[in-house]
């Protein structure tokens, strides 16, 4: 909202520091809502539901009865009435006097009432003798009588007979006041009545008013559509926009009840006319601004890995509120002030009441924005985090990793990521405490967590409302309806309604004051729809403002049971117990919410604490220069479990602990092992049991439930194995590191029988411009000059405008071999697989095994009775060997059991027709994995200044060395200088499968001179096999390098994009390496460069 006339302190987005009363307040509200988002949502929803039921309580069951469209109560009849006076002071002319009194106190007070029947109906009032009063003979349909007797008269005309009393089918019928006894009417009659009322309002409205209202409602719905589109651009297709509408609806409910409590009447017709323009004018810009700010803050927190302790999501929301809170609250206050001026004005016709209500709506909307909606945003971010976890977890499970490893890797994709080693080394605290809040859904997130949460929240809200609706009949409430449909009905047109009748009274020269009431509507009913006696009896209204009456619902039910239940609820003791039960229910729900959030942390607490304590111990035992020979006694008198920590803290080797505890015998240790209490044994006891074969070496992790301790015990066992002690005795004290490493990721995914980890130097080449995006290239290698040489190639490529890559293929392959009894059967199987029907059946079976794997083509080859089948499929962001193997097994099973090839024998799922980890012409020709072509154009000046070579020399070298030389050697896919060097270094740094360097290094380097004299170099690599999820990519160091490239994990919107980008990076790196090495060879610098780096050749 642009308000240029306001002072700059109000129009700036951020106020001066000394004048900001809003931000601390809304930040505190938002922080409280973020800490307990579910509690906030549930409490506000329950309050809104209670408010909504309060609004319905009087109108749904017609308890107070003041909403009857026919005006069966005096208070309702007076709405819209007009008082006219006649006397000397009005010069014997009718004049509207409003609420004023006539000076002539002798003026008679009368009420004029019209009985309105449907157009064209025949009516005859034949029961005058049944009336308790005498009617003046003015008009058959215009009845006038003393105001004090109005109630009696209204009761007497509740029902009127028709002309003959029967219809064409002989059923009795009567005229009955519209809405007289609505508690006995069906929904069809209610809808019919509503439609008639709406049609009546439309008929009495001006065409211009109808057009304006149509445009207003159209604009309101366009505003709703704009809200959904804006939220969709922010990443939410439905839920965020829906919750914004819920928040606004709750604000309207709270404002309605607040306005009612302040004694300001609310007109439903006025609301229906004004709310569309309020929605269009105010709009939903503030929730959109807050949502955008929260998402930007969360992304900023994601980039600041490890910089935030505590709860990162809550911190992101609070930061966004702190940034945008002043701007949002300022706009709210300005709008509320404008509406308050309208409420304080003297304009009649409902403007004051509507402005008063609208101001309260904005006030509550502001409060809910920073409480209810911020809690929704917290849950939205939690849901996004869950999706980021579930997607890689499912991909890892489909790729063959265990569920435990998949969960660990998925959890590591959360932000911020804490440096585990630093956290351990600094204070030794619990790592989970560092990460912060467990989140709304806990630490262990299941696939169905989001769906269950949405279903439970929506179902709970619906059930609460249904419960409140069902208990409405059993509540005792004598208050009037909050939103009165006719509380401020338009004044009747006196002269059009009763002009002739009033003119006939002037000749009598009698001073009088007549209140012209709105007509009573009648409808024709059959006798089967009767009016209850309570409806036609006297209601006993004592004043013009009386709105209270008997509880028609209870009378309509007519049951003693309901009446007794109502009376029992009035009992003070019972009502107090009900209140206490509701309070206890609320406290219990709050406790269960906390239990659901935090109990998941208790499962692995002990294990995490022990692991962190061990990891924080001294490492002197690994670095001690003296090797101490130790003989473990048979009786294992070496202390209990506490001795392990004691010895580590004091730097003593295993078996040299000093302890005063009574030692355990070998029998006791074995008994504890059988009782699954191996964790209580100390390290020396565990080593002894392992050496005696009681604990298999491969089962240490499972037995101890502590991967770090298992690695340490295994090192000791290997060092002390008698058969190999002459060679392995130094392992326990070797410099192979084993501490401060997350072995939970390794177990079941990367390696078995782990004794440590092997550090490799990692260098950075670049930067390199690849397809317009700048990358630094991580390379893990022990070969000097390699990183420097690649960096020189990157510099030359950047000087020429960068590298351009093209993806020509994407499909991993698996080639099983099957056998048949005869060549005829093998040939029939080959023909069936090559047919359209065979391709369709196998594809359907294959695709059913994974969300990511999609079969592309099937290629077959026959060798005698052996049939080789090469399946080619996409695998998302995983390298996909395990994923495709499962699909192959399923497809072959369907082929043998459902397609008539039950005599087929599966020799092997992999028949080397893939071909995997071996040089093969089929990979060079058909491609495997990602097929990439990378190109760069290097100006001649850059070749000379940066590469210290010449374009013609490079072209000649490439032809003679890479093309002719490789052909002379009979190479397959080896037409390059050293592509394998670059591929291996990048593979090791990013967690790829090292042996697949064999196929991935297939490359042909082409150089030629352009017309402009520049060097055009390209590399074509048809079988780059990479993935960004699964395998070694789940390890944190390798994952950090993938983060460096911006390709870690599965792509959230287009599976496979991250892996394809990594393949492009590999090809571009090979391009830089080829360019630099060939330049060095052409200039004769290769030997010099290696010698400069202390390398012997």
Specify the residue for token string 């029967």.
Answer: 166
Using an 8 Å Cβ cutoff, are 792 and 947 in contact?
Answer: yes
261 included as an active-site residue: no
User: Rounded to whole angstroms, how far apart are CA atoms 967 and 1004?
Assistant: 11
Ramachandran bin of 1046, using left for φ above 0, alpha for ψ from -120 to 50, beta for the remaining angles: left
Strand partners, 984: none
3-state secondary structure of 296: helix
993 included as an active-site residue: yes
Q: Please, what's the b/e burial string for 1076-1093 (b: 16 or more CB within 10 A of its CB; e: otherwise)?
A: bbbbbbbbebbeebbeee
Q: Do the bridges between strand 817-819 and strand 108-116 make them parallel or antiparallel, or are there none, so unpaired?
A: unpaired
Backbone angles phi, psi at 344, to 5 degrees: -85, -10
Distance between first and last Cα of the chain: 74
- The 10 Å Cβ neighbour count of residue 225 is 11
Q: Which candidate in 859, 917, 948, 1009 is catalytic?
A: 917
Q: Do the bridges between strand 483-484 and strand 266-267 make them parallel or antiparallel, or are there none, so unpaired?
A: parallel
User: Rounded to whole angstroms, how far apart are CA atoms 819 and 364?
Assistant: 75
Backbone angles phi, psi at 634, to 5 degrees: -65, -35
User: Rounded to whole angstroms, how far apart are CA atoms 256 and 697?
Assistant: 72
Using an 8 Å Cβ cutoff, are 1027 and 853 in contact?
Answer: no
User: Rounded to whole angstroms, how far apart are CA atoms 456 and 592?
Assistant: 14
783 included as an active-site residue: yes
DSSP state of 129: G
Query: Which H or E element spans position 804?
Result: strand 804-814
User: Rounded to whole angstroms, how far apart are CA atoms 891 and 901?
Assistant: 12
H helices of 705-835, in order, are: 707-719, 725-728, 786-799, 823-834
Closest-CA residue to 705 (of 834, 569, 633, 603): 603
User: Rounded to whole angstroms, how far apart are CA atoms 831 and 680?
Assistant: 64
Backbone angles phi, psi at 776, to 5 degrees: -100, 140
Q: Which candidate in 181, 401, 701, 993 is catalytic?
A: 993
Distance (Å) of CA 98 to CA 83, 135, 151, 284, 495: 5, 26, 22, 42, 15
Taken in order 526, 532, 537, 540, the sign of the CA dihedral is negative
Closest-CA residue to 365 (of 297, 263, 268, 283): 283
1061 included as an active-site residue: no
Q: Which two tokens stand for residue 465?
A: 């409302």
Specify the residue for token string 């059967």.
Answer: 825
Q: Please, what's the b/e burial string for 838-863 (b: 16 or more CB within 10 A of its CB; e: otherwise)?
A: beebbbebbbebbebbbbeebbbeee
Using an 8 Å Cβ cutoff, are 805 and 934 in contact?
Answer: yes
CA angle, residues 738, 741, 744, in degrees to nearest 5: 115
Using an 8 Å Cβ cutoff, are 812 and 931 in contact?
Answer: no
| Dihedral angle computed from the Cα positions of residues 481, 482, 486 and 491, in that order, rounded to the nearest 10 degrees | 130
DSSP result, 171-208: -EEEEEETTTTGGG--HHHHHHHHHHHHHHHHHHS-HH
| Residues tagged active-site | 783, 917, 993, 1090
């Amino acid at each position: 909202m642009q308000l240029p006339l306001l002072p700059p302190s109000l129009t700036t987005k951020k106020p001066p520091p000394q004048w900001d009363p809003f931000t601390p307040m809304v930040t505190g509200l938002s922080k409280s809502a973020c800490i307990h988002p579910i509690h906030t949502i549930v409490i506000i929803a329950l309050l809104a539901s209670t408010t909504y039921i309060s609004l319905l309580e009087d109108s749904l069951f017609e308890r107070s009865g003041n909403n009857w469209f026919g005006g069966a109560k005096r208070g309702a009849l007076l709405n819209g009435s007009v008082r006219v006076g006649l006397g000397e002071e009005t010069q014997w002319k009718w004049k509207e006097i409003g609420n004023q009194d006539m000076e002539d106190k002798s003026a008679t007070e009368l009420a004029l009432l019209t009985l309105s029947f449907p157009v064209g109906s025949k009516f005859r009032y034949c029961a005058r003798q049944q009336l308790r009063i005498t009617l003046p003979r003015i008009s058959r349909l215009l009845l006038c009588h003393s105001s004090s007797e109005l109630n009696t008269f209204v009761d007497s005309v509740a029902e009127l007979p028709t002309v003959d009393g029967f219809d064409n089918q002989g059923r009795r019928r009567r005229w009955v006041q519209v809405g007289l006894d609505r508690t006995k009417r069906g929904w069809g009659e209610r809808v019919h009545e509503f439609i008639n009322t709406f049609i009546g309002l439309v008929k009495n409205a001006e065409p211009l008013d109808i057009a304006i209202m149509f445009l207003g409602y159209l604009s309101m719905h366009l505003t709703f559509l704009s809200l959904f589109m804006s939220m969709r651009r922010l990443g939410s297709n439905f839920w965020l926009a829906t919750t914004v509408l819920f928040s606004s609806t709750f604000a309207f409910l709270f404002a309605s009840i607040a306005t009612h409590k302040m004694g300001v009447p609310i007109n439903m017709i006025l609301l229906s006319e004004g709310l569309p323009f309020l929605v269009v004018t105010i709009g939903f810009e503030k929730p959109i601004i807050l949502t955008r700010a929260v998402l930007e803050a969360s992304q900023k927190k994601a980039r600041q890995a490890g910089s935030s302790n505590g709860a990162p999501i809550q911190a992101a929301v609070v930061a966004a509120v702190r940034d945008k809170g002043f701007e949002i609250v300022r706009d709210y206050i300005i709008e509320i002030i404008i509406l308050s001026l309208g409420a304080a004005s003297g304009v009649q016709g409902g403007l004051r009441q509507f402005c008063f209500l609208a101001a309260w709506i904005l006030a509550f909307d502001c409060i809910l924005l920073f409480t209810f909606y911020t809690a929704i945003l917290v849950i939205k971010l939690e849901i996004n985090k869950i999706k980021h976890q579930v997607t890689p977890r499912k991909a890892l499970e489909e790729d063959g990793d265990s569920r435990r490893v998949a969960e660990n890797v998925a959890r590591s994709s959360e932000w911020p990521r804490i440096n585990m080693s630093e956290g351990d080394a600094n204070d030794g605290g619990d790592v989970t405490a560092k990460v912060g809040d467990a989140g709304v859904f806990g630490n262990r997130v299941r696939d169905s967590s989001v769906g269950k949460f949405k279903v439970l929240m929506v179902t709970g809200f619906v059930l609460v409302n249904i419960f409140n609706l069902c208990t409405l009949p059993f509540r005792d409430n004598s208050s009037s309806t909050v939103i009165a449909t006719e509380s401020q009905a338009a004044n009747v047109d006196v002269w059009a309604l009763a002009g002739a009748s009033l003119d006939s009274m002037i000749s009598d020269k009698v001073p009088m004051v007549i209140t012209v009431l709105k007509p009573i509507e009648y409808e024709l009913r059959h006798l089967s729809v009767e009016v209850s006696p309570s409806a036609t009896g006297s209601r006993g209204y004592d004043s013009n403002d009386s709105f209270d009456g008997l509880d028609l619902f209870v009378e309509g039910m007519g049951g003693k049971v309901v009446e007794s239940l109502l009376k029992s609820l009035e009992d003070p003791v019972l009502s107090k117990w009900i209140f206490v039960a509701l309070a206890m229910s609320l406290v219990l729900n709050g406790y269960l919410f906390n239990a659901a959030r935090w109990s998941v942390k208790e499962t692995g607490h002990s294990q995490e604490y022990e692991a962190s304590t061990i990891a924080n111990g001294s490492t002197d035992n690994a670095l001690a220069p003296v090797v101490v020979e130790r003989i473990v006694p048979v009786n294992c008198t070496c202390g209990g479990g506490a001795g392990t920590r004691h010895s580590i803290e004091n730097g003593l080797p295993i078996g040299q602990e000093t302890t005063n505890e009574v030692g355990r015998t070998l029998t006791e240790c074995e008994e504890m092992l059988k009782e699954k209490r191996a964790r209580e044994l100390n390290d020396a006891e565990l080593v002894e049991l392992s050496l005696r074969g009681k604990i298999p070496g491969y089962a240490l992790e499972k037995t101890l439930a502590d991967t770090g301790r298992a690695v340490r015990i295994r090192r000791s066992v290997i060092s002390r194995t008698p058969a190999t002690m002459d060679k392995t005795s130094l392992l326990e004290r070797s410099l192979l590191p084993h501490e401060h490493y997350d072995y939970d990721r390794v177990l079941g995914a990367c390696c078995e029988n782990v004794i440590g980890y092997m550090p490799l130097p990692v260098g950075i080449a670049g930067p390199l411009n690849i397809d317009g995006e700048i990358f630094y290239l991580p390379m893990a290698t022990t070969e000097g000059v390699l990183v420097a040489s690649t960096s020189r190639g990157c510099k030359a490529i950047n000087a020429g405008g960068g590298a351009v890559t093209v993806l020509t293929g994407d499909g991993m392959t698996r080639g099983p071999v099957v056998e048949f009894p005869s060549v005829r059967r093998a040939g029939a199987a080959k023909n069936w697989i090559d047919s359209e029907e065979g391709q369709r059946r196998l594809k359907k079976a294959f695709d059913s095994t994974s969300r990511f794997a999609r079969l592309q083509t099937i290629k077959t080859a026959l060798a005698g009775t052996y049939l080789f089948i090469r399946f080619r499929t996409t695998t998302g962001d995983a390298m996909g060997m395990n994923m495709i193997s499962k699909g192959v097994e399923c497809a072959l099973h369907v082929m043998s059991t459902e397609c008539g090839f039950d005599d087929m024998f599966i020799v092997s799922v992999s028949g080397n027709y893939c071909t995997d980890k071996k040089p093969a012409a089929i990979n060079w020709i058909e491609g495997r994995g990602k097929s990439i072509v990378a190109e760069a154009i290097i100006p001649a000046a850059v070749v000379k200044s940066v590469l210290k070579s010449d374009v013609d020399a490079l072209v000649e070298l490439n032809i003679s060395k890479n093309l002719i030389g490789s052909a002379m050697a009979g190479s397959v896919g080896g037409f390059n200088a050293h592509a394998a060097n670059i591929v291996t270094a990048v593979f090791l740094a990013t967690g790829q499968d090292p042996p697949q360097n064999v196929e991935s290094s297939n490359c042909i380097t082409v150089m030629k001179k352009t017309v402009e004299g520049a060097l055009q170099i390209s590399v074509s690599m048809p079988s780059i096999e990479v993935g960004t999820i699964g395998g070694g990519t789940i390890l944190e160091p390798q994952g950090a390098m993938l983060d460096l490239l911006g390709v870690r994990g599965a792509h959230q919107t287009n599976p496979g994009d991250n892996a394809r980008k990594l393949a492009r990076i590999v090809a571009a790196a090979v391009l830089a390496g080829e360019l630099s090495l060939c330049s060095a060879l052409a200039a004769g610098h290769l030997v010099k460069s290696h010698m400069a780096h202390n390398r012997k050749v």
